[in-house]
Structure 1
Amino acid sequence: MQIPLSITFRHIEPSPALEQRIRQSVEKLEHLYGRITGCDVVVEAPQHGPKKGGLFIVSINLRVPGHEIAVTGPRPKDHTHEDAHVAVRDAFDAVARRLEDHARRTRGDVKTHWTPPG
């Protein structure tokens, strides 16, 4: 991995397995788009109040030249995000889709509609 990576765990003990999964996901993003200049990942556990359970929130801020791509989860009522690994997977899937869109735009692959001058 060549890019600077920051991983932060909030309200949760750092997990070597989760950290390894994040590093692997960032490596996949590097293969997808080689011009990534930095990545910040925050994994936040639910605050346990009177209720048990809750959804993990994973935020990813990916930096590419001249642009930032940010993703924050979870989706409303997505109970699969009660598992931190699933929340990380879904967040990286979302940021990968946005990164692919960005790559297409920078290559000029996105069609624009011609409008007559007027």
Structure 2
Amino acid sequence: MKFETGSLRYDDNGLIPAIAQDAATGDVLMMAWMNEEAVTRTLETGRVTYWSRSRQAFWVKGETSGHVQELVDFRVDCDRDCLLVRVNQTGPACHTNRRSCFFTAVRGGEEVEIMAPML
């Protein structure tokens, strides 16, 4: 069956959540939003492209930071309302300079930072 970007279930703003996962380690790196054009650009170029809600513009991961996400595998969940992009990540994925955006754990009711920024 041929993949059609229009077959995805976008929210009322035309967006769909995309979870980035390191293809080699399985680590969850980040979550960001894509619109239909970002999905198309990602699949056509192999460079993961998101939609920035704050800037209202396309955001090619690593374009300014050098922390590129090279697409390895593109997956659609069973409800077609969430994406998994498996990537080769160069450098940190998080804007805080950490490998993953998920560096805060809740343990025993307390927040604990479990990951230091990369040097």
Give the alignment's TM-score, normalised by structure 1: 0.29
Radius of gyration: which is bigger? 1
Give the alignment's TM-score, normalised by structure 2: 0.29
Higher strand share: 2
Higher helix share: 1
